[in-house]
Amino acid sequence: MRFLKVAFLGVLFIFFAGCASKKESEVYNKTAIYWYKSMIKELKRGNLEKADDYYTSLSSEHINSPLIKEALLILIESHLEEEEYLLAEFYADEFIKRFGTSKNITYAKYLKIKAKYNAFRYPDRDQKLLKETIDLAKEYIDRYPNSIYNPLVQTMLTRLYLSKYQLDKKIISLYRRLGKEKAAKIYEDKIKNSWLRDIKIETKESWFNSLFD
């Protein structure tokens, strides 16, 4: 009786060990094309989190696979479409670092700027992001004057400048109400020579949002 019990437990062990081994083989040690196709499949389903996991497996198990380059571009655009801008920027940085060449760097950097720009909604709540995006757009236009994406970057930069100009005017008004004339003067000097100084802009908060819709 004891022998039968031990034999039964042994069979169960082998069965569950086999299942575990099979399950593990489904998660690891797959071909690059398997991970790539799995990623695409999840993107079509709208499951970006799972797609990210499959990309991680692809990039970690097949570090030199040419599929990684295309996978990164697809993930950037997918996360942009789903308004997951931080992840889009993360993948853009990864693409630039690993695959940036003279032929594709302008597109990758354009996507990064687009991600930062789309993540920007409230100028008076995220001044650091506003400055970072303006600096990035200016650098892009200066470095790649012949890029086909320049008109798009220039449009974003113009809207960011409009937003910054309006924000500076609000700060000046606030400092004056608080009696801090020196601080107000600093911001007045910032916009003194701005080409936007003669533009009449409504001071409604919704105006900020309309720039990014």
Per-residue pLDDT of 195-208, as tens digits, reads 555 444 444 444 44
The whole-number pLDDT of residue 196 equals: 57
Residue 164's CB is within 10 A of a number of other CB atoms, namely 20
Both 125 and 190 in one domain: the answer is yes
pLDDT at 154: 94
Residue 196 inside a domain? The answer is yes
- Count Cα neighbours of 118 within 13 Å in the Cβ-side half-sphere: 19
DSSP label at residue 28: S
- Is residue 102 located within the same domain as residue 130? no
pTM recorded for the entire structure: 0.73
The rounded distance, in Å, linking the Cα atoms of 59 and 5 is 46
The reply to whether 106 and 138 lie within a common domain is no
Predicted confidence at residue 195, as pLDDT, reads 55
Same-domain check for residues 51 and 103: yes
Which of 89, 112, 135 is the last residue in one of the domains?
Answer: 112
Please identify which residue in the block is written with the tokens 């996360």. 79
The pair of three-digit structure tokens given for residue 28, joined into one six-digit string: 């690891």
- Reported as a single tens digit per residue, the pLDDT across 51-85 is 999 999 999 999 999 999 999 999 999 999 999 99
Residue 146, domain member (yes or no): yes
How does residue 3 score in pLDDT terms, banded at 50, 70 and 90?
Answer: very low
Q: Is the pLDDT of residue 41 over 90?
A: yes
Asked if residue 132 and residue 48 are part of one domain, the reply reads: no
- In 3D, which of 66, 43, 39 has the Cα closest to residue 55? 39
Boundaries of domain holding 154: 120-213
Q: How many domains does the chain have?
A: 2
- Same-domain check for residues 124 and 204: yes
- Mean pLDDT of all residues belonging to the chain: 81
Task: Count the Cβ atoms, other than its own, within 10 Å of residue 186.
Answer: 14
Which CATH number characterizes residue 77's domain?
1.25.40.10
Cβ atoms 67, 87 nearer than 8 A: no
User: CA 26 to CA 13: how far, in whole Å?
Assistant: 20
Domain final residue, candidates 112, 141, 161: 112
Instruction: Read off the pLDDT band of 138 (50, 70, 90).
Output: very high
Q: Are residues 87 and 105 in the same domain?
A: yes
Residue at 5 is within a domain: no
Look at residues 70, 90, 112 and tell me which one is the last residue of a structural domain.
Answer: 112
